[in-house]
Amino acid sequence: MTIPIPLLDRSSAVGDEGRPRAASLAVASFVVALLVVAGGFVIGQPDLLVSLGSVTGLAGAGLALLDRERFVHLLAGHCLFVWFGAPLSLLVVFAPLVGRVGVAVDGFALALFGLAMTWGNAGTRTHLGDGLSASTLAFAATILWLVGFAAVAGGLALAELSVEGLVGQSTAAGGLASLFVVVAYAGAGIAAAIRWLPIRQLTPRSRRPAVERRVAVIRRYALGTIAVAVLSLLAVSLIRASGGFERLEGTALATGFGALSSPLVVWPAVTVGTVGILAGAVALTLRRLARDSDPASAERLAAVIAGFVLAVAAVVAAALVAVSPLVGAIVFLGVLAAPLALVVCIAILVLGIDIGILPDRASGAAMAAFGLVVSAVGFARISMPVTFACVAVALLVWDLSSFGLGVTAELGRIPETRRLELVHAVVGVGITVAVVVALVAVDALRTGVFAGVGGTVPAVVACLGALALLGTLRG
Give the tens place of pLDDT for each residue, 271-304: 888 888 888 888 887 777 666 556 677 788 888 8
Output the average pLDDT for the chain: 79
For residues 165 and 385, which has the higher predicted lDDT (pLDDT)?
385
| Whether residue 460 has pLDDT greater than 70 | no
93-114 residue pLDDT tens: 888 888 888 899 999 999 999 9
Average pLDDT on 30-38 reads 92
What would the pLDDT profile of 306-352 be if each residue is shown by its tens digit? 888 888 888 888 888 777 777 777 788 888 888 999 999 999 999 98
Q: Is the pLDDT score of 243 beyond 80?
A: no
Residue 249's pLDDT is what?
Answer: 64
Q: What is the C-alpha end-to-end distance of the chain, expressed in Å?
A: 52
pLDDT above 70: percentage of residues in the chain: 78
pLDDT at 11 over 60: no
Residue 258 has pLDDT above 70, yes or no: no
Interval 124-143: pLDDT, tens = 888 888 899 999 999 999 99
Q: What angle do CA 341, 344, 349 make, to 5 degrees?
A: 125
The whole-number average pLDDT for the span 260-264 is 71
pLDDT attached to residue 108: 93
CA distance 458 to 475: 25
| pLDDT class of 413 with cuts at 50, 70, 90 | low
Q: What is the pLDDT of residue 404?
A: 77
pLDDT at site 462: 54
Could you tell me the pLDDT band of residue 32, with boundaries at 50, 70 and 90? very high
Rounded CA separation 301/293 (Å)? 11
Q: Is residue 315 helix, strand or coil?
A: helix
Give per-residue pLDDT as tens, 212-242: 888 888 888 888 888 888 888 787 777 766 6
* Listed range (31-35, 66-70, 267-271, 407-411) with the worst mean pLDDT: 407-411
pLDDT of residue 470: 53
SS3 content of the chain, % helix, strand, coil (to 5): 80, 0, 20
State the average pLDDT over residues 21-38. 87
Tens-digit pLDDT profile for residues 182-209: 888 888 888 888 888 888 777 787 788 8
Q: State the amino acid at position 82 in one-letter form.
A: V
Higher pLDDT, 299 or 472: 299
402 Cβ contact list (under 8 Å, min separation 6): 20, 362, 365
Q: Is residue 84 predicted with pLDDT exceeding 90?
A: yes
pLDDT at 168: 55
More confident residue, 422 or 177: 422
HSE toward the beta carbon, residue 137, CA cutoff 13 A: 23
**Residue 354: predicted pLDDT:** 87
At how many degrees (to 10) do helices 325-354 and 125-166 cross?
Answer: 150
Least confident of 109-118, 211-220, 356-365: 356-365
* pLDDT at residue 472, rounded to an integer: 53
3-class secondary structure, 200 = coil
CA dihedral 385, 391, 395, 401 (to 10 degrees): 90
